[in-house]
Amino acid sequence: MSNEALTSLAILKTNWDQNKDYIENFVPFVAHALSQRPASAISLSDLQRSMRESLGLNVPQNSLKIILGRAKKPSYGYVRQDHGVYFPVQQRLQNLKFGAVRQRVLREHRALLEKLRRFCKTGYHVDWGMEDAENALLRYLTDYDVEVLSAAVEGHSVLKAGRSPKSAKFLVNAFVRDLTENDQQGFEYLETVVKGNMLANALFLSEPGMLKRKFNNTDFYLDTPLVLRLLGWEGPQQQDPAKELVDLLYQEQANLKVFQHTFMEIHGILDVCEQILRNPSSKNPAGATVQYLAQAGHTASDVQLLKARLEESLGFHRIQIVEKPPYDQQCPLDEAVLEEHLQENVGYRRPPTLIRDVDSLSAVFRLRRGRVSEFVDSCRAVFVTTNASLARASRSFFCSVTPSGTAPVCVTDYILTNLVWLKNPVKASDLPSRQVIANSYAALEPNEELWLKYLTEISKLREKNRITPDDYYLLRMSIDAKKALMDLTQGEVVDITEGDLQSILHSVKSRIVTEKEEELRAEKEGHAKTQKQLDAKHQADSERRIRLASFSTKVASILSKVLFYVLLLLLAAGAYLAFPTGSALRLSNSYLYVPSLLMALSVLVAFLNQCFGYTVKSSVRKLEVVLRDTMIRKLNRVFNL
């Protein structure tokens, strides 16, 4: 097993979290390799082999020289130098605390591999051994390797994977997507390994100082699929990393551009989307863009608007549209040979796509005007694509027509993500994980050959009336149908039978029914929640109304009692004045009418009581009720009850 490689990457990321620089990240690894070998003069080739065997890392010899220089610093003291020759210092190497960290990381690594094995067996009835799972995970990392960043690479990447099992690419990417959705802890460990791989790739830059330089001397020309992701036309999982990458490139002073023929290709894709959305029975192949737009509820009219605003949308992301440069006799390039090379190594099924890629690569080559630069940030022009096969084929071709050490004409968005993250890991901390998610979703798309074969078969069923127009639309436009196709074939180009299509259709319909049931359940739960909230509010309002009514009753009762006793006192005074002894009450001249009024009031109340049964107490109580009701209405209005 080669678990040393993956655990080494995880340890590397752990070292980085302790705020060490790129080179010092590797000092403990070199020290560990030295502690495993005889205490003799250090040979770079022997040390390189020891690193590969004990840690699973293939480190360039030029980088080992730099790392040894750090390892002899007094703060480490792992090696000493005598007449230009390095010797290990065994006493210091014995104190190296490498094993404890390695054991902890190894436990996490084994746990992840067990999860991968369980996922494959449970979901796809594929029984992998630990070595199978490990090789598949290593292959996953090396598929997006950064070796094309620099010609200083010594023919290998930092990792070397064994033979991966069948369908490894599909199964690992499906596993990664499952981690993102259901297992945050597992995904965090995977992210640690990915970032460790990115840090390790920094060793393949012949000048680590380039990581501090800006991109102001380079124009980045974006390929069509990358622009489609950036504009959000393939879903948010694809848009997020593309947008962050473009924003970070702009902040690092890069110039972002697309060729005019790329712009027209994007416009043409929208034309096809509009036709399919207007006429679903159209025979135009439905790609990821139209499927996402259809799933998101866009209409043909919406796509018309997207076309009209395409240039404006590119401008929003600071992307210029430019014509390709004229042909230059000083920088001759045989485009026919390039076209043949790309067709052989990439395998295009549509000639226009091949021609546009040849135009883009040739244009970037001419824009450099023969200038040799081994660094992406100073090479004048680079073509950025999501197609790793195109990047590899481009590199193999231009290595034969450009001087050794020249920066690649074409790089993938993943490689550029790696470089941007290395330049500023703090600002772009989430970029690697977002790129991992985007790559996994993209890898779960059927390749062009499988998709065209699938479309041919569902068209045959429609022509034979074996499926309804609605079924045909579902099989063609539904993202769930594409997922079911990939689950069925695991990404392999195989014969598709009518039974397979019926199985896919059943899966899609079942998913729709399940989603409807979930929507109804969610709606029902929402109604129940709303009703519960309304009931709670109603209960709270009722309690508040009760409290306000109680308050109003108490206040009205107190006021009525005060009024009753005041009236009672006045009537008593009037009755007293009616007797002869009351005349002795003296009042000032200004209040002589008061006794008369009190006597009149007393006589009136007595009259009303005798004739109509009127009493002061009943009147005061009626007034109390009126006062209480009035207060309740006023207070309810104030508190919005």
Q: What is the pLDDT of residue 147?
A: 44
Between 334 and 146, the more confident residue is: 334
pLDDT tens string 164-179: 677 888 898 899 888 8
Query: Do 623 and 564 contact (CB within 8 A), yes or no?
Result: no
What tokens were used for 313? 């949308």
Check whether 313 has a pLDDT greater than 90: yes
Q: What is the pLDDT of residue 455?
A: 85
pLDDT tens string 14-72: 777 665 567 777 888 888 888 877 777 888 888 888 888 878 777 777 778 888 888 88
Regarding the domain delimited by 3-98, which CATH topology (the fold level of the hierarchy) does it fall under? Arc Repressor Mutant, subunit A (1.10.10)
Architecture per CATH, domain 213-263+312-424, reads as: 3-Layer(aba) Sandwich (3.40)
Q: What is the pLDDT of residue 146?
A: 43
| Mean pLDDT, rounded, for 496-515 | 84
Check whether 185 has a pLDDT greater than 70: yes
Q: What is the pLDDT of residue 321?
A: 96
DSSP string, 591-615: GTHHHHHHHHHHHHHHHHHHHH---
Residue 358 binned pLDDT confidence (cut-offs 50, 70, 90): very high
**pTM of the complete model:** 0.67
Percent of the chain with pLDDT over 90: 16
| Mean pLDDT, rounded, for 193-204 | 73
Query: Do 224 and 350 contact (CB within 8 A), yes or no?
Result: no
Q: What is the Cα–Cα distance from 560 to 549, expressed in whole angstroms?
A: 16
Q: What is the Cα–Cα distance from 599 to 610, expressed in whole angstroms?
A: 17
What tokens were used for 448? 């062009």
Domain residues of the chain, as ranges?
3-98, 100-198, 213-263+312-424, 448-496, 540-638
Best-predicted range by mean pLDDT (335-344, 528-537, 552-561, 615-624): 335-344
Give 471-475's long-range contacts (Cβ < 8 A, gap of 24+): 471/505, 472/280, 472/281, 473/280, 474/505, 474/508, 474/509, 474/512, 475/501, 475/504, 475/505, 475/508
Q: What is the Cα–Cα distance from 105 to 107, expressed in whole angstroms?
A: 5
Check whether 227 has a pLDDT greater than 90: yes
Return the closest-CA partner of residue 210 out of 59, 427, 420, 384: 420
Using alpha carbons only, what angle is made at residue 241 by residues 237 and 245, rounded to the nearest 5 degrees? 160
Q: Please provide the average confidence, as pLDDT, over all residues in the chain.
A: 80
pLDDT tens string 411-462: 888 888 877 877 776 666 677 777 777 777 777 788 778 888 888 888 888 8
Q: What is the pLDDT of residue 543?
A: 81
Provide the phi-psi class of 272: left if phi over 0, else alpha when psi is between -120 and 50, else beta.
alpha
Q: What is the Cα–Cα distance from 351 to 349, expressed in whole angstroms?
A: 6
| Mean pLDDT, rounded, for 465-472 | 87
